[in-house]
Amino acid sequence: MQTMKAVRIHQYGGPEVLQFEDAPRPQPAAGELLIRAHAAAVNPVDWKIREGYAKERIGHSLPLILGWDVSGTVEVIGPGVTRFQKGDEVFTRPDIARNGAYAEHIVVRESEVAFKPKSIDHIRAAAIPLAALTAWQALFDTGHLSAGQKVLIHAASGGVGSFAVQLAKWKGARVIGTASGRNQSFIMELGVDEAIDYQKTRFEDVIHVVDVVFDTIGGDVQQRSWRVLRKGGILVSIVSPPPPEEAAKYHVRPGYLFVQPNSTELAEIARLVDTGTVKPFVETVLPLAEVRKAHELSQTGRTRGKIVLKVV
């Protein structure tokens, strides 16, 4: 059996359950590719799954390789693969129900993969798929944001928020973003028209009649967001499904999504990266073996842009 280095969990728990070890090297079946991973991004869902979040719903079995964001090189193509060949540089947010990308190799379905943007390296490419697809699917597929509309993006400096700001601006929307004081200049650089320091100002005191709220925080932030929407507007959450009865009280619509792999949207995002319209921001790069530190950083909830693990 061929092996590879990987980070696996054999039980749910804290960062200490992350084991850097040898694991079986997977082989692609029909319609699948084996990717030699060069970089894998860390997302909050990684440590949530590490802690046991949604284990019944997603149906993982242990040991499990975490990490669902990867940039690398196609090494083997399975039978029936038509769009890719050995040596292609690709990136993907693969199926979260299967083994992830904290490893030297990962098997993914052809339908989940797009060519990596040519203008950036694998580290920055790995920072894109999960967060940018989430922003795309929230703003466009669920929120139907259009040119001239006003959108409030919570946590505009985070992994998802930093892509959401850039995508909303590309769409021609007016963008209001929230972040703490230390990230005000960062979100202005991303392109927000109005930056709110949530530690100084309650956003609902200064923002009114927005068309779309993008909720990346949940809880109290979600509750306080209803009143800033215009009648008929939509609150799109990626954290917890907004209660329909609350939405009805404010004559607005609730939306929720869990990001799905989508190679067509990913290819469009790659094009926007190569034209310089959208940029990934990577705050921290760590070797794969330092994954525990990466999780601890992500769990602070203060990441600016993304954390990426360098695989080779």
Q: Is residue 52 at the binding interface for ligand NAP, with CB under 6 A as the rule?
A: no
Q: Is residue 202 at the binding interface for ligand NAP, with CB under 6 A as the rule?
A: no
Q: Do the strands 3-9 and 18-24 form a parallel or antiparallel pair, or are they unpaired?
A: antiparallel
Q: Per CB under 6 A, which region of 117-125, 165-173, 251-259, 272-280 contacts ligand NAP?
A: 251-259
Which position among 108, 131, 132, 247 is part of the footprint of ligand NAP (CB under 6 A)? 131
Nearer Cβ to ligand NAP (84/198): 198
- Residue among 261, 205, 260 nearest 228 (CA): 205
Q: Tell me the HSE value of 178 on the side-chain side, using a 13 A CA sphere.
A: 22
Q: What contacts 216, CB < 8 A, 6 or more positions away? A: 153, 154, 155, 158, 160, 161, 164, 237, 238, 239
Q: Is residue 238 at the binding interface for ligand NAP, with CB under 6 A as the rule?
A: yes
Q: Is residue 216 at the binding interface for ligand NAP, with CB under 6 A as the rule?
A: yes
Which of 233-239's residues contact partners 24+ apart within 8 Å by CB, and which partners? 233/209, 234/142, 234/143, 234/144, 236/138, 236/139, 236/142, 236/143, 236/212, 238/134, 238/138, 238/160, 238/214, 239/215
Q: Is residue 259 at the binding interface for ligand NAP, with CB under 6 A as the rule?
A: yes
Strands of 56-123, DSSP E: 64-65, 70-77, 89-92, 105-109, 113-115
Q: How far is the CB of 41 from ligand NAP (least distance, A)?
A: 9
Q: How far is the CB of 135 from ligand NAP (least distance, A)?
A: 9
Nearer Cβ to ligand NAP (160/247): 160
List binders of ligand NAP among 138-197 (CB under 6 A). 154-155, 157-161, 178-180, 182-183
Q: With CB under 6 A, what is the number of residues at the site for ligand NAP?
A: 32
Say if CB 234 and CB 228 are below 8 A apart: no
Which position among 206, 258, 267, 275 is part of the footprint of ligand NAP (CB under 6 A)? 258
List binders of ligand NAP among 267-296 (CB under 6 A). none
Nearer Cβ to ligand NAP (35/196): 196
Residue of minimal Cβ distance to ligand NAP: 158
Say if CB 98 and CB 88 are below 8 A apart: no
Q: Is residue 247 at the binding interface for ligand NAP, with CB under 6 A as the rule?
A: no
CB count in 10 Å sphere of residue 1? 5
Binding-site ranges for ligand NAP (CB under 6 A): 43-45, 48, 131, 134, 154-155, 157-161, 178-180, 182-183, 198, 216-217, 221, 238-239, 257-259, 298, 301-304
